[in-house]
Amino acid sequence: MKKDTLIGIILGTIGGLLFAIGLCMCLIPEWNTFVGGVIAAAIGFIILLAIIPIFRRGRAPKERKPIDKGLALTWTVGVVGSLVMGFGMSRLLAENVSGSDMVVGMIAGIVGLLICVLNYPIYAYLRKGNQ
């Protein structure tokens, strides 16, 4: 494993954890840590941004290629699946959840998870069709 890859993995883990914990600190009012959460999330985001120059330094610049439509579709499907799953989770984790909210949340979460899981087979099928 290259040194740059290891540094990227470590920084990605630390930055992602700080960013996630900071957002939790901001969004859970019982903790009363909004300002500290903003600071932690900002530090995590800066650490995540620091990965970009480390990653680019170790690689040769690539020539311009046309946009891979299969890859763009894969990213779009992944984002949509994540948003659907997040919607379902937010319905389940809200305060005073009714029975209908639980059903809608579980169905939306499962559908979003299936979209994310089926994303790679869709991409593999599109890549196979292009070759």
Amino acid 91 reads R
Tokens coding 131: 């070759």
pLDDT of res. 64:
62
pLDDT of res. 110:
94
pTM over 0.85? The answer is no
pLDDT along the chain (131 residues), means of 10: 82 91 86 92 94 78 73 88 89 82 91 90 81 60
pLDDT of res. 63:
62
pLDDT of res. 14:
93
How many Å from the N-terminal Cα to the C-terminal Cα in the chain?
A: 30
Contact 92, 102 (CB under 8 A): yes
